[in-house]
Amino acid sequence: MSYPKIIQGGMGVAISTWQLAQAVSRRGQLGVVSGTGIAIVMIARLMDGDPGGHVRRALAHFPVSQVAERILRAYFIEGGKPAGTGYKRPPMWTLHPSAELEEITVAANFAEVWLAKEGHDNPVGINLLEKVQMPTMASLYGAMLAGVDYVIMGAGIPIQIPGILDRLTTHQPVSYHLDVVGHSGEDLHLHFDPQARFPGLAEAVGTLKRPRFLPIISSVILAQALLKRSTGEINGFVIELPTAGGHNAPPRGQYPLNERGEPIYGEKDAIDLQKIAAFGLPFWLAGGYGHPQMLRQALEAGAQGVQVGTAFAFCEESGMAKAIREQVIQQVREERVDVLTDAKASPTGFPFKVVQLETTIANNDHYAERPRICDVGYLRQLYRDESGSVVFRCAAEPVDTYVKKGGNVEDTEGRKCLCNHLGAAAGFSQVRKDGYAELPLVTAGDDLPAISQFLREGETTYHADDVIDTLLAAL
């Protein structure tokens, strides 16, 4: 079978929008939407008046019309919400999620994939994070209802996904083993039953297509673990280097930090591509591969191609707020852009790439002024308290709250609310009741300066086509 040479990175929250994925897929490459936080994104779009009517158009094709109608009644505001007011938020995920939350998560992922596939027949993928476990089953089901072709997943070891995909093709009940801090053998599951949630849907739509599954890995050991332990078929790998944007896998073992507080990667973190190729599965290379010569090198190393995120994150079709894109591109043109691999920013404990912009939460003064809150909760961790009850905590929540839950105060230092800040980077800044508006946080790979190659003389912006044309021109 034929494979794309370019996979467009699935960047969340709402950076890899349906518009970007559609633009890439129409060119015969693999466009990928981000499913991370897509429920709150869809709500925000509806509350902003659904410019262009895209969400409503997609929901009109959702196979359970009553669900679509409930969502529109609850969240759509003709003409958009008043300026300076906040967005409604769905209930937070728990071990027993509400019907509303499951419905809107399924519908939001359906809508994003449906829009990305609208008007063409080329493959579209969806990207999810293993670290964000609770919405995963509903997200996959929604994407599969829309005919998603690939599922790409990193930020952990997603061994459960292949079996879940297999069962969801026939609308069977599925469950997800949840990580509990300090209790690796804990038998705690979240359950999702499509037929109980959507009676009659299985008969109406029939068997669903099983998408190809590509886990994102950073080592041969991880590839071996996935092949040995996964609950179903793996169809290839994305091999991601620590130069990539967003979350990075930490260096193996105990690792030092440089003078800027960034993790230092060494020989143990190198990836033997010959061993990867020996598995006999297609693979793509990611992290600094947004250059024509890097695509050539990847192909020569036996890869099917490359996954490129940063180059697409700052193009016109990206979901990143226009003002932020323009600010970063200006810094690139002036050769003063700076990307920090922040060892503390993410509540997950994984290193996270942060573009240093004064107007964002990367500014230490802005960070210190922000009242801490956890009101989205995608990155909360499960743990057992002194009574033995399973509860949630997040290292970015108020420090006193985290410590009362048994957390170490040191773990809260420098932690940023990625849920809110990444949403703000896509233009959906939450305004709290006290008037505080969440600031954005921008992530990009170490090769951010290289986006200058896509800018034509005198231009201050570029398109997804420019990225594709530049990368493929050297072949």
Residue by residue, pLDDT tens for the chain (475 residues) are 789 999 999 998 999 999 999 999 999 999 999 999 999 999 999 999 999 999 999 999 999 999 999 999 999 999 999 999 999 999 999 999 999 999 999 999 999 999 999 999 999 999 999 999 999 999 999 999 999 999 999 888 899 999 999 999 999 999 999 988 876 666 789 999 999 999 999 999 999 999 999 999 988 988 999 999 988 999 999 999 988 888 888 888 778 889 998 888 888 888 889 999 999 999 999 999 999 999 999 999 999 999 999 999 999 999 999 999 999 999 999 999 999 999 999 998 889 999 999 999 999 999 999 999 999 999 999 988 878 788 899 999 999 999 998 889 999 999 999 999 999 999 999 999 888 999 999 999 999 999 999 998 888 899 999 999 999 997 8
What kind of architecture, by CATH, is found in domain 6-320+453-473?
Answer: Alpha-Beta Barrel (3.20)
Q: What is the pLDDT of residue 42?
A: 98
DSSP code for 269 = G
Q: Are 453 and 471 in contact (CB under 8 A)?
A: no
Q: What is the pLDDT of residue 1?
A: 75
In angstroms, the CA 298 to CA 290 distance is: 11
- Report how far apart, in Å, the C-alpha atoms of 174 and of each of 95, 111, 161, 417 are: 14, 22, 10, 30
Q: What is the pLDDT of residue 180?
A: 87
Q: What is the pLDDT of residue 185?
A: 64
Q: What is the pLDDT of residue 184?
A: 61
CA neighbor of 41 nearest in space, from 14, 71, 66:
14
Angle (CA) 85 92 176, round 5° = 150
SS3 at position 329: helix
Q: What is the pLDDT of residue 457?
A: 84
Q: What is the pLDDT of residue 391?
A: 86
Question: H-type helices in 37-128, by residue range?
Answer: 38-47, 54-59, 65-75, 99-117
CA neighbor of 136 nearest in space, from 64, 36, 10, 248:
36
Q: Determine phi and psi for 67, rounding to 5 degrees.
A: -65, -45
Q: Give the Cβ contact number of residue 268 at 10 Å.
A: 10
In angstroms, the CA 219 to CA 240 distance is: 9
In angstroms, the CA 218 to CA 130 distance is: 14
In angstroms, the CA 292 to CA 284 distance is: 15
In angstroms, the CA 339 to CA 335 distance is: 12
- Model's pTM, two decimal places? 0.95
Q: What are the structure tokens assigned to 287, written together? A: 């992290």
Q: What is the pLDDT of residue 242?
A: 86
